[in-house]
Amino acid sequence: MATCEVCGNDYDMAFEVHAQGVVHVFDSFECAITRMAPVCEHCSCRIVGHGVAMDGRWFCCAHCARKEGAKTIADRETAPGGRR
Protein backbone atom coordinates (compact mmCIF):
# COMPACT_ATOMS: atom_id res chain seq x y z
CA MET A 1 0.00 0.00 0.00
CA ALA A 2 1.10 3.54 -0.66
CA THR A 3 -0.15 6.91 0.55
CA CYS A 4 -1.43 9.53 -1.90
CA GLU A 5 0.55 12.77 -1.51
CA VAL A 6 -2.56 14.90 -2.18
CA CYS A 7 -5.38 13.36 -0.13
CA GLY A 8 -3.44 11.08 2.22
CA ASN A 9 -5.42 7.96 1.27
CA ASP A 10 -3.49 4.74 1.90
CA TYR A 11 -4.48 2.75 -1.19
CA ASP A 12 -3.45 -0.64 -2.55
CA MET A 13 -3.77 0.54 -6.18
CA ALA A 14 -1.81 3.79 -5.83
CA PHE A 15 0.49 4.65 -8.72
CA GLU A 16 3.69 6.60 -9.25
CA VAL A 17 4.35 9.47 -11.61
CA HIS A 18 8.03 10.14 -12.36
CA ALA A 19 8.60 13.75 -13.43
CA GLN A 20 11.78 15.82 -13.53
CA GLY A 21 13.65 13.43 -11.27
CA VAL A 22 10.93 13.31 -8.59
CA VAL A 23 8.60 10.40 -7.84
CA HIS A 24 5.02 11.32 -6.93
CA VAL A 25 2.44 8.88 -5.50
CA PHE A 26 -1.29 9.26 -6.16
CA ASP A 27 -4.41 7.19 -5.55
CA SER A 28 -6.38 8.65 -8.49
CA PHE A 29 -6.00 10.67 -11.67
CA GLU A 30 -7.94 13.43 -9.93
CA CYS A 31 -5.22 13.79 -7.30
CA ALA A 32 -2.48 13.56 -9.94
CA ILE A 33 -4.10 16.34 -11.96
CA THR A 34 -4.58 18.47 -8.85
CA ARG A 35 -0.86 18.27 -8.06
CA MET A 36 0.73 18.07 -11.54
CA ALA A 37 -1.41 19.94 -14.10
CA PRO A 38 -0.61 23.61 -14.73
CA VAL A 39 -3.35 26.25 -14.32
CA CYS A 40 -4.57 28.44 -17.18
CA GLU A 41 -3.43 32.00 -16.52
CA HIS A 42 -6.69 33.41 -17.90
CA CYS A 43 -9.58 31.23 -16.66
CA SER A 44 -7.74 29.28 -13.90
CA CYS A 45 -8.87 25.83 -15.08
CA ARG A 46 -6.43 22.92 -14.89
CA ILE A 47 -4.72 22.26 -18.21
CA VAL A 48 -5.26 18.56 -18.79
CA GLY A 49 -4.90 18.60 -22.59
CA HIS A 50 -2.18 20.06 -24.76
CA GLY A 51 -2.65 23.71 -23.76
CA VAL A 52 -0.84 26.59 -25.45
CA ALA A 53 2.13 28.67 -24.32
CA MET A 54 2.90 32.34 -24.86
CA ASP A 55 5.95 34.11 -23.45
CA GLY A 56 6.44 31.45 -20.80
CA ARG A 57 2.80 31.60 -19.70
CA TRP A 58 0.37 28.66 -20.07
CA PHE A 59 -3.25 28.72 -21.22
CA CYS A 60 -5.85 25.98 -21.68
CA CYS A 61 -6.70 27.14 -25.22
CA ALA A 62 -5.98 29.76 -27.89
CA HIS A 63 -9.09 31.71 -26.85
CA CYS A 64 -7.70 32.31 -23.35
CA ALA A 65 -4.26 33.18 -24.77
CA ARG A 66 -5.85 35.72 -27.10
CA LYS A 67 -7.75 37.24 -24.16
CA GLU A 68 -4.35 37.80 -22.55
CA GLY A 69 -2.87 39.50 -25.61
CA ALA A 70 -1.69 36.78 -27.98
CA LYS A 71 -2.04 37.85 -31.62
CA THR A 72 -0.83 34.85 -33.64
CA ILE A 73 -1.57 31.81 -31.49
CA ALA A 74 -3.99 29.09 -32.61
CA ASP A 75 -5.20 25.80 -31.14
CA ARG A 76 -4.03 24.05 -34.31
CA GLU A 77 -2.82 24.85 -37.76
CA THR A 78 -5.27 25.29 -40.61
CA ALA A 79 -4.71 22.90 -43.51
CA PRO A 80 -4.20 24.20 -47.03
CA GLY A 81 -7.51 25.35 -48.49
CA GLY A 82 -8.79 26.46 -45.07
CA ARG A 83 -9.75 22.97 -43.86
CA ARG A 84 -8.88 21.74 -40.41
> For 21-70, what is each residue's pLDDT tens digit?
999 999 999 999 999 999 999 999 999 998 998 888 999 999 999 999 99
What pLDDT, on a 0 to 100 scale, did the predictor assign at position 75?
67
More confident position, 79 or 45: 45
pTM summary value: 0.74
The full set of domain ranges for the chain reads 1-36, 38-78
Residue 79 has pLDDT above 80, yes or no: no
* Residues in contact with 40: Cβ distance below 8 Å, sequence separation at least 6, in sequence order: 46, 47, 51, 58, 59, 60, 61, 64
What pLDDT, on a 0 to 100 scale, did the predictor assign at position 84?
45
What pLDDT, on a 0 to 100 scale, did the predictor assign at position 16?
97
